[in-house]
Amino acid sequence: MKRGVLVIAGGLILATAGLGMAGEVNCKQVNKYLGTGRSVKDVAETMVVSESDVKKCQDQAASEGKGGEKAGDMGKKEEKK
pLDDT at 8 exceeding the cut of 60? yes
**pLDDT value at residue 10:** 67
Q: Is residue 11 part of a domain?
A: no
Q: Are 51 and 25 in contact (CB under 8 A)?
A: no
Q: Is residue 6 part of a domain?
A: no
> What range defines the domain where residue 41 resides?
25-70+73-77
Q: Is residue 19 part of a domain?
A: no
Q: Is residue 63 part of a domain?
A: yes
Residues 55, 66: Cα–Cα separation, whole Å: 17
Residues 7, 56: Cα–Cα separation, whole Å: 39
What does the pLDDT look like over 23-69, one tens digit per residue? 689 999 999 999 999 999 999 999 999 999 999 999 999 998 876 54
pTM for this model (two decimals): 0.53
pLDDT at 77 exceeding the cut of 90? no
